[in-house]
């Protein structure tokens, strides 16, 4: 039978909540709660629970008093990525409008991993300053299509090259366009010849990042 105090103690030592352990194991939080409170004394997920807690089923059932005896060393996602030569880059769920997209709501982010060698071939900027997003619309066609993956380099927050591709916001609108500084104005250019250029006061244009890479399905 499972010793409830041992699960509770390991949760505290590892800094893992009951909800987080339940998510990792793939069970309801109530299942873990019953084991910790003594409401259940066994589980078909015992070995998975032990692995996530960095111990063994024998320790959780009281058959040994050594929590590390025979336990497989668990590795964090960061450690595994480093061993595989991967770097993490956030992908945000804000699709930058190639026309314009509202950016006034909460933005979710998901960490994705890519080969370091591949990322280094694209940019010398650190991964922490890179962000993946997606294009939306067709005003930058044929350079960027609707749904294309776009790598943004957030280390570049000032227009240093005229007519390069920049992600920017004006008020609550976010877009990717070619930008050209003209005195105290910013000329906003689309690659689609059907879309006329626009202009905004330079102090109303917030540069978010420079476009470093565009990828698409073929």
In which band, very low, low, confident or very high, does the pLDDT at 36 lie, cut at 50, 70 and 90? very high
Res 163 pLDDT > 90: yes
Pair (39, 139) in one structural domain: no
How many domains are there within the chain? 2
CA distances from 76 to 45, 73, 81, 119, 148 (A): 21, 10, 9, 22, 31
33 CB contacts (<8 Å, ≥6 apart)?
18, 39
| The pair of three-digit structure tokens given for residue 92, joined into one six-digit string | 């945000």
In a domain, 70, yes or no: no
Pair (100, 134) in one structural domain: yes
Res 51 pLDDT > 60: yes
In a domain, 73, yes or no: no
Pair (195, 124) in one structural domain: yes
In a domain, 102, yes or no: yes
In a domain, 87, yes or no: yes
Pair (53, 159) in one structural domain: no
Res 21 pLDDT > 60: yes
What's the pLDDT tens digit per position in 69-80? 766 555 566 777
In a domain, 71, yes or no: no
Res 102 pLDDT > 70: no
**Angle formed by the axes of helices 29-37 and 18-25, nearest 10°:** 120
Q: What is the CATH number of the domain that holds 18?
A: 1.10.260.40
Pair (55, 18) in one structural domain: yes
Res 26 pLDDT > 80: yes
Pair (121, 208) in one structural domain: yes
Pair (40, 141) in one structural domain: no
In a domain, 28, yes or no: yes
The overall pTM is greater than 0.85: no
In which band, very low, low, confident or very high, does the pLDDT at 137 lie, cut at 50, 70 and 90? confident
What's the pLDDT tens digit per position in 169-207? 998 888 999 999 999 999 999 999 999 999 999 999 999
Mean pLDDT of the chain: 87
In a domain, 13, yes or no: yes
- How open is the CA angle 192-138-212, to the nearest 5 degrees? 85
Average pLDDT over residues 28-34: 91
Pair (92, 140) in one structural domain: yes
The phi and psi torsions of 183 (rounded to 5 degrees) equal: 65, -125
Pair (38, 144) in one structural domain: no
Q: What is the CATH number of the domain that holds 102?
A: 2.10.109.10
Pair (132, 172) in one structural domain: yes
Pair (168, 106) in one structural domain: yes
Range of the domain at 42: 4-60
Per-residue pLDDT, 134? 87
Higher pLDDT, 146 or 101: 146
Pair (174, 209) in one structural domain: yes
In a domain, 120, yes or no: yes
């Amino acid at each position: 039978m499972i010793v409830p105090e041992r699960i509770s103690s390991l949760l505290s030592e590892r800094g893992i909540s009951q909800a987080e352990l339940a998510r990792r194991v793939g069970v309801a939080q109530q299942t873990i709660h019953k084991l910790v409170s003594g409401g259940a004394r066994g589980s078909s997920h015992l070995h998975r629970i032990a692995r996530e807690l960095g111990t063994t089923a024998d320790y959780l059932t009281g058959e040994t008093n050594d929590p590390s005896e025979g336990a497989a060393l668990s590795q964090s996602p960061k450690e595994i990525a480093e061993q595989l030569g991967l770097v993490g880059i956030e992908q945000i769920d804000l699709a930058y409008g190639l026309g314009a997209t509202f950016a006034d709501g909460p933005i979710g982010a998901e960490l994705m991993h890519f080969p370091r060698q591949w990322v280094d071939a694209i940019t010398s900027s650190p991964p922490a300053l890179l962000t993946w997003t997606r294009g939306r619309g067709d005003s930058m066609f044929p350079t960027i299509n609707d749904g294309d993956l776009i790598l943004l380099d957030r280390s570049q927050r000032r227009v240093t090259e005229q007519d390069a591709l920049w992600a920017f916001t004006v008020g609550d609108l976010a877009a990717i366009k070619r930008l050209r500084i003209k005195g105290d104005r910013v000329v906003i250019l689309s690659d689609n010849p059907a879309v006329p250029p626009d202009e905004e006061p330079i102090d109303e244009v917030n540069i978010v990042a420079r476009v470093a890479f565009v990828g698409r399905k073929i």
